[in-house]
């Protein structure tokens, strides 16, 4: 059973470009979470999605950031018009459907560098 | 979710037991204690969780005090690969499922 997959692992974008980060949850998992880790800082929750629904986006910046988890395919975190402050590691996690007690399994992360 | 307090760093000799404390004095009755760790640059890894009874799995043991205001994660025979940042998280079981990470404890295992 493959773990959580994220791609690309490293992404370089110039200021003003768009960044698309992909996350494929573990097989059978229908809950996806995105977290961001700025350099030398802790992990911060961004958004929690279930298939075709955003459940909690309380950690998402109000502008330029969006996330989706379509019925088919991976979850996508999109950052429009990137700025240098968006440079960070972005981690995706997934958990099975059902009780909130289930632990979250994390992917290896995508490291975004904005030049 | 209740706030947790952990020492910023700890050292432990290889082969010895590593005991990582966590204070969560404002924990409420429906909140569980979770432990995750993050080995350098990797995604966080789930270790163990518990409510009020002590728990053990293949990775670690979790000891929760009777009043539930603190807990200790025990790595029984630490290896160099256990060097990581360890996060203690108190998590409510209903409603939002997000994990709220603090600063954690940077554990260094020395040869």
8 Å CB contact of A103 and B98: no
Query: A89 contacts in B (CB within 8 Å)?
Result: 41
Percent of chain A with pLDDT over 70: 97
**Cβ–Cβ under 8 Å, residues A6 and A92:** yes
Q: Mean pLDDT score of chain A, rounded to an integer?
A: 93
What is the per-residue pLDDT for B15? 96
Q: Does B104 touch chain A (CB under 8 A)?
A: yes
8 Å CB contact of A106 and B98: no
Q: Does B8 touch chain A (CB under 8 A)?
A: no
What is the per-residue pLDDT for A69? 96
Residue A2's pLDDT band (cuts 50, 70, 90): confident
b/e for B18-40, b at 16 or more Cβ within 10 A? Answer: bebebbbeebeeebbbbbbbbee
What are the tokens at A77? 């975190």
Handedness of CA B93, B94, B98, B103 (dihedral sign): negative
pLDDT tens track for A17-72 = 999 999 999 998 889 999 999 988 889 999 999 988 999 999 999 999 999 999 99
d(CA B75, CA A86): 36
pLDDT tens track for B21-61 = 999 999 988 889 999 999 988 999 999 999 998 999 999 99
DSSP assignment of B89-103, as one string?
EEEESSS--------
Percent of chain A with pLDDT over 90: 79
The rounded Cα B11 to chain-centroid distance in angstroms is: 15
Q: Pick from B46, B95, B99: which is nearest to A45 by CB?
A: B99
pLDDT reading at A80 higher than 80: yes
With 0-12 / 13-18 / 19 or more C-beta atoms within 10 angstroms meaning exposed / middle / buried, residue B95 is exposed
Percent of chain B with pLDDT over 70: 95
What is the per-residue pLDDT for B3? 87
What is the per-residue pLDDT for A108? 96
What is the per-residue pLDDT for B2? 62
B49: nearest CA in chain A? A103
Q: Does B81 touch chain A (CB under 8 A)?
A: no
What is the per-residue pLDDT for B64? 96
What is the per-residue pLDDT for A84? 95
Residue A12's pLDDT band (cuts 50, 70, 90): very high
What are the tokens at B8? 């910023």
pLDDT reading at A86 higher than 60: yes
8 Å CB contact of B103 and A56: no
Q: Does A44 touch chain B (CB under 8 A)?
A: yes
Query: A59 contacts in B (CB within 8 Å)?
Result: 98
pLDDT reading at A100 higher than 90: no
Averaged pLDDT for residues A84-105: 87
A108: nearest CA in chain B? B43
């Amino acid at each position: 059973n493959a773990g959580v997959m994220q791609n690309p692992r490293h992404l370089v974008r110039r200021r003003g470009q768009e960044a698309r980060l992909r996350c494929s949850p573990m097989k059978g998992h229908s809950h996806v979470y995105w977290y961001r880790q700025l350099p030398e800082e802790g992990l911060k929750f961004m958004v929690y999605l279930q298939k075709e629904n955003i459940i909690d986006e309380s950690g998402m910046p109000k502008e330029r950031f969006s996330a989706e988890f379509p019925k088919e395919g991976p979850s996508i975190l999109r950052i429009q018009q990137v700025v240098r402050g968006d440079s960070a590691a972005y981690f995706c996690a997934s958990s099975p459907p059902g009780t909130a007690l289930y632990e979250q399994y994390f992917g290896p992360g995508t490291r975004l560098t904005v030049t | 979710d209740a706030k947790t307090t952990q020492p910023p760093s700890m050292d432990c000799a290889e082969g010895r037991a590593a005991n990582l404390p966590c204070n969560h004095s404002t924990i409420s009755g429906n909140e569980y204690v979770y432990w995750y760790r993050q080995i350098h640059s990797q995604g966080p890894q789930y270790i163990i969780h518990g409510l009020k009874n002590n728990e053990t799995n293949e990775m670690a043991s979790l000891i929760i005090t009777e009043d539930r205001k603190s807990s200790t994660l025990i790595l029984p025979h630490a290896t160099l690969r256990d060097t990581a940042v360890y996060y203690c998280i108190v998590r409510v079981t209903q409603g939002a499922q997000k994990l709220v990470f603090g600063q954690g404890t940077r554990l260094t295992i020395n040869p």
